[in-house]
Structures are given as structure tokens and as C-alpha cells.
Amino acid sequence: MTILVTGGAGFIGSNFVLDWLARSDEPVIDLDRLTYAGNLENLRSLAGDPRHIFVRGDIGDFDLVATLLAEHRPRAIINFAAESHVDRSIHGPEDFIQTNIVGTYRLLEAARGYWNALPEADKAAFRFLHVSTDEVYGSLGPDDPPFSENNRYEPNSPYSASKAASDHLVRAWHHTYGLPVLTTNCSNNYGPYQFPEKLIPLMIVNALAGKPLPVYGDGLNVRDWLYVKDHCAAIRVVLARGRVGETYNIGGWNEKTNLEIVRIVCRLLDERRPRPDGASHASLITFVKDRPGHDRRYAIDATKIARELGWRPAETFETGIEKTVAWYLDHPDWVAHVQSGAYREWIGRHYGE
Ligand code: NAD
Ligand code: DAU
């Protein structure tokens, strides 16, 4: 048996692949275009491991995906590949439309062609798991209940609109063609290998470099934070036991304002890597212009996945953020390579491109 993972060189995808192969000998075909966010250094520990078959390519390349499916005959596709950064989607939505909408459409079509031709037993067992976001539900007021799977879709950014569109395509491919799909909508992840354009790693690397810590607006926007390995565990559970055609919300039951997050990161860095001048890293906090259309609050009601599938996060925010800060402190080379662009040279050396 084999699974096909897309976007497996990105933040969550690489954590998923590493965790999968730490638990199982079932091979992973890893299809990733290696955009700026894809980083094969995340998967360095798998070098030479025959269970990890890396293919550089685009989910929107129908012929490539069809060939991979025919060749490796996976029992499941787990689609992580996406443009994922809200700020980039505001500056340039085109890539988000291409990968998140057109790419998902072509991947679904290739999957449908492959699935249709499978023998009945394999056809029944096949799964297409689409990894999505809580941002499709829009923004909550301070007293609103957290997002359940029944909330209306009200995406507000080009990123969340493109993810919402992809979720709708996945749903339609199930209802119209019978493709056995599962969709997960998860809250903000943090942990090892997160590209330092996202809040938590950006704050860590800036603080270590003595640079300003840019907090948008008043810093009181709320996100629900989940340690990435808990997200990966939830995806494994949904893949194994989720009901076909259903969506599952995944979250950490952990709402915090951005300012709280930044202050916790600063406190941990003060303990582990005090500044030479003795000042707190929090003295670097700088309020900057807000993100246009900035959603005020996200929160996930993860009752359904707990009730139906027995999944709950293993980490609290306190344990998860300690591990995360420790990981960044322990991996200065990874940080330096990502920041300098040297990781692309590594890819070139490794693949001769
Ligand atoms: P990421 O940006 O770190 O990684 C995305 C990966 O996809 C990269 O390796 C990139 O090279 C690859 N990719 C991009 N376009 C591609 C294409 N056309 N074909 C093949 N590969 C392509 O993203 P992430 O944070 O790991 O997010 C993974 C998925 O999880 C995304 O679908 C995202 O919407 C979703 N999600 C993320 C979060 C979060 O907090 N990061 C939360 C909920 C859901
Ligand atoms: O909710 C799930 C989503 O979480 C995922 O679907 C996205 O892929 C992922 O990028 C993330 O989106 P956010 O926009 O919430 O994450 P980001 O880390 O960019 O920002 C988190 C919060 O911090 C948000 O309110 C904006 C704020 N922020 C972010 C940056 C980069 C700042 O205040 N300063 C910053 O410099």
C-alpha cells in the first residue's frame, strides 16, 4: 500500500510525512512543486529512505499526476499543496487562484480518472483527503460560538476565498461523481519547520536577531493555535476512520490574541536566550499598519472529531510553544538557510537543477 501526499515539503506536509514514516512502513509519494515555501531540508532525515519517493511537480499538471497514480497505485491522496500565506495573497492573488483552485480541480480530475478504473474493493477503500482551513468560515465576533462544521462559508481574503473554492470543488466531486472525499478545516498551526513569514517563527527569528517584532493593528486579533503534530495526528485519524463525504474541524481549544502569543514567545526567549543588554525581547514589539481585511477572531469547535473519532490535541499551548521555541533555537542552520535562500542551492545540488 502507498499514499500520495501533495505539498509534503512544506510546513505541515513535511511534519506529516516525517510522522507517517516514523509510524509506518507504508511508502509516501511526495509531490511538491518546491515553491519558496517548499524545503527539502525539512525531509533531510529521509535521504536515501526508499519509503519516501519525492517528485518535484505541480498538482495542476494533470498528466504528471495521472502518471504517478497509474505507476504507484496509492490507496489515498492527502492534499496539503497550496499557497498558504494570507499576506502574500493580498499582494498577489494569482498564484492562489492557480494552485488552490485550478490545481485542486486538476488533482481531483486525475484522482477521479484513476479511482474510476480501480477494482471494486480498491475503489471502495480509496480516499481523497483535502486539508483546509478555518479561515473559510470568515471572522467571529467576541461572543460568537466557535466555528462548527455547519457554519456558513464567508471567506474574506484571496487566500481563504481560494481555499473555500477548493473545498467546494472537493464536495462537488463527491456528490456528483462519488469520489470518496474527506475534508479537514484546521486552525492556526505552529511548530518545527514553519517558514518564518508566519507569526510565531517570524517573532522568534526577529527577536533572536534583535529586529522589531511587527504586530498588526492593535494586536488583539484572536487565533486558535494547534501544535502541528496534533494536526498531523488528526489527519491520520480522519484518513483511517472519517466518514466519507464529511468535513471535520480541527483545533486546539486554545484562543489567544496575537499580543499574548508574542509576549509568550518573548518570555521563553528571555529565559533561554537573554538579551545582552538585559532588556526583555518584548521591548522589540512594534505596532505596524494592519493587514487589509484582517479577520478579527477564529475559533474552532472540535467536538465532532472528538466525539466521532476520539481525537483530541496531545499538546497544550504551553508544552507546544516550548518545544517550538526550543526547535528554532536548536536549528540555527535551518533558519539561516531559509532566510538566505541557501536552501534552494541545496535543492539544486541534490537534484542537479
Ligand atoms: P506551506 O506554504 O508551508 O507549504 C505548502 C507546500 O505546497 C510547499 O511545500 C509548496 O512548495 C507546495 N506547493 C505549492 N504550490 C504547489 C503546487 N501547485 N503543486 C505542488 N506543490 C505545491 O503551507 P502549510 O502551512 O504547510 O499548509 C499546508 C496546507 O494546510 C495548506 O493547504 C493550507 O491551506 C492548510 N492549512 C494550513 C494551516 C497553517 O496554520 N499553516 C492551518 C490550516 C490549514
Ligand atoms: O487559521 C488557519 C490559517 O492560519 C491557515 O489557513 C493559513 O495558511 C496560515 O498562514 C494561518 O493564517 P493567519 O493569517 O492566521 O497566520 P499568520 O501567521 O500570517 O498571522 C497570524 C496572526 O498574526 C494574524 O492575525 C496576523 C498577525 N500577524 C502576522 C504577521 C506575519 C502580525 O500581527 N504580524 C505579522 O508580522
Question: Any idea where the domains of the chain sit in the sequence?
Answer: 3-193+226-252+297-314
Whose Cα sits closest to atom 44 in ligand 1?
133
Q: Is the CB of 130 under 6 A from ligand 1?
A: no
Q: Which three cell numbers stand for residue 97?
A: 487562484
Burial 74-98 (b: 16+ CB within 10 A, else e): bebbbbbbbbbbbebbbeebebbbe
Q: If we measure between CA atoms, which residue out of 331, 108, 349, 42 comes closest to residue 30? A: 42
Which residue has the least CA distance to atom 36 on ligand 2? 214
Q: Is 60 in the pocket of ligand 1 (CB under 6 A)?
A: yes
Range 167-173, long-range pairs (CB < 8 A, 24+ positions)? 167/130, 167/132, 167/136, 167/247, 169/101, 169/104, 169/105, 169/108, 170/104, 170/108, 170/128, 170/130, 171/245, 173/108, 173/111, 173/112, 173/128
Per-residue confidence (pLDDT) for residue 350, from 0 to 100: 40
Give the closest ligand to the alpha carbon of residue 30: 1
- In this predicted structure, what is the pLDDT of residue 310? 98
Best mutation site among 5, 15, 16, 35 for ligand 1, i.e. most ligand atoms within 8 A of its Cβ? 35
pLDDT confidence of residue 343: 34
CA 324 / ligand 2 centre spacing (Å): 16
Judge whether 227 and 252 are in contact, CB under 8 Å. yes
Query: What stretches in the chain show pLDDT beneath 50?
Result: 342-347, 350-351, 353
Tell me, in angstroms, the distance from the centre of ligand 2 to residue 86's CA.
Answer: 7
Closest by CA position to 286, among listed 221, 339, 211: 211
**Is-catalytic flag, 134?**
yes
Residue 167 among the catalytic residues: no
Q: How many helices (H) and strands (E) does the chain have?
A: 14, 12
Ligand 1 atom nearest residue 85's Cα:
2
Of the listed ligands, the closest to the CA of 157 is 2
What dihedral do alpha carbons 138, 130, 78, 180 form, nearest 10°?
160
pLDDT of residue 340: 76
Does ligand 1 come within 6 angstroms of the Cβ of 249?
no
Q: What integer pLDDT is reported at residue 351 of this predicted model?
A: 28
Q: Is the CB of 201 under 6 A from ligand 1?
A: no
Q: How many CB atoms lie within 10 A of CB 171?
A: 15
| Rounded distance from Cα 239 to ligand 1 centre (Å) | 18
Catalytic residue among 41, 58, 83, 135: 135
Determine the residue type at 146.
P
Alpha-carbon gap, residue 135 to 223, rounded angstroms: 10
**CB 6 near ligand 1, within 6 Å:** yes
CATH number of 3-193+226-252+297-314: 3.40.50.720
Residue 17, all three cell numbers: 510525512
DSSP state of 343: H
Active site residue 135: yes
CA of 190 to the centre of ligand 2 (A): 10
At 342 the pLDDT is 42
Q: How far is the CA of 296 from the centre of ligand 1 (A)?
A: 23
Per the residue annotation, which of 32, 58, 83, 134 is the catalytic one?
Answer: 134
